[in-house]
Amino acid sequence: MNRTDRLYAIVEELRAVAPRLKTARELAARHGVSVRTVERDISALQQSGVPIYADVGRRGGYALEKSMSLPPLNFTASEVVALGVAVARAGDGPFAAAGRSALRKILAAMSRQNADAAERLAQRVHIMEGPEAIAPMPIPPEVEQAVVARRVLRIEYLDAAGVLSERAVEPVALLHGINGWYLVAWCRLRDEPRNFRLDRMKAIELTEWTGPERTIDMCRPAEPVHEIRMISLG
């Protein structure tokens, strides 16, 4: 464990037991360092503004003022949803539970406004799971921006029949399927909802137009699917 990780871990330990005390010896044993190292860590945390106080004496130790908290984390909604996607795709793999726990801690430390924005954005990102999922191509930044801000996209799209067409689409959600990532959008050319495979988009232009709020039934995919589930930040 490096020093930065140890500093965060010490704060979390003190937060968990507050207002009870933890001695320097207990913290040192927990992190496999010397008592002197713990004392230097506590001093560094105090100097950075973390509300840790010391109670001297035979039964003394360190405690974190429970009524106080660290400043809100300055994560954007997109950054938190990106973490949510990574955690969701981890499934039952290594550290999946730790990832969900970390995400909850991040949300708890964020401002209420930013956390609410992240929750709303997460409702617009979905994962569709099938038996033979392939590695998806990277999502173009124009598509990400369009989903976040409901900006209309102009695309050149090659359909399953090999026909290339120009479309203006209103992004609604991202969907992960057995052929990679899809953009679920309202197609102005067809005047109906469509799923567009990202690897079939041959040109993408982010426009200045903002599309209306739309709700599309995510339970009717255009291909076989075992399960559709939303990204959860809870």
Shared domain for 60 and 162, answered yes or no, is no
Per-residue pLDDT, averaged over 166-192, amounts to 89
Q: Of 40, 64, 88, which one is at a domain's C-terminal end?
A: 64
Q: Length of the chain, please?
A: 234
- Quickly tell me which residue has 């409702």 as its tokens: 123
Distance (Å, whole) CA 206 – CA 91:
32
pLDDT for 223: 46
Q: CATH number of the domain that 50 lies in?
A: 1.10.10.10
Residue that terminates a domain, selected from 15, 30, 64: 64
Q: What pLDDT does 75 receive?
A: 83
∠ CA 217-222-224, rounded to 5°: 110
Residues of the chain above pLDDT 90, percent:
35
* pLDDT level of residue 68 (50, 70, 90 thresholds): low
Are both 10 and 81 inside the same structural domain? no
CA distance 202 to 156: 5
- What is the per-residue pLDDT for 89? 77
Report the C-alpha gap between 14 and 41 in whole angstroms. 13
Which of 36-50, 155-169, 198-212 is predicted with the least confidence, judged by mean pLDDT? Answer: 36-50
Q: What is the pLDDT of residue 227?
A: 54
Determine the pLDDT at residue 146.
93
pLDDT digits (tens, 9 = 90+) for 12-66: 788 777 778 899 999 999 889 999 999 999 998 888 888 888 887 667 799 887 6
Residue with the bigger pLDDT between 47 and 69: it is 47
For residue 73, pLDDT over 90 is answered with no
Same domain, 228 and 132: yes
**Do residues 156 and 202 both lie within one domain?**
yes
Residue 9's pLDDT is what?
83
Say yes or no: 143 and 193 in one domain: yes
Q: Are residues 11 and 44 in the same domain?
A: yes
Higher model confidence: residue 169 or residue 89?
Answer: 169
Range among 74-83, 139-148, 151-160 with highest mean pLDDT value = 151-160
Same domain, 19 and 46: yes
Domain count, the chain: 3
pLDDT of residue 224: 45
Percent of the chain clearing pLDDT 70 (strictly above): 81
Quick one: average pLDDT of 180-184? 88
Residues 201 and 219 in one domain: yes
Q: Do 106 and 146 reside in the same domain of the chain?
A: no
Do 136 and 108 fall into the same domain?
no
**130 and 47, same domain (yes or no):** no
Residue 207: pLDDT band (50, 70, 90) is very high
Q: Which of 63-67, 74-78, 194-198, 230-234 has the lowest mean pLDDT?
A: 230-234
- Return the bridge partners of 167, or none: 155
Looking at the structure, do residues 143 and 229 belong to the same domain, yes or no? yes
Nearest to 171 by CA among 222, 233, 121, 114: 121
Which range of residues forms the domain containing residue 189?
125-234
Looking at residue 206, its pLDDT comes to 95
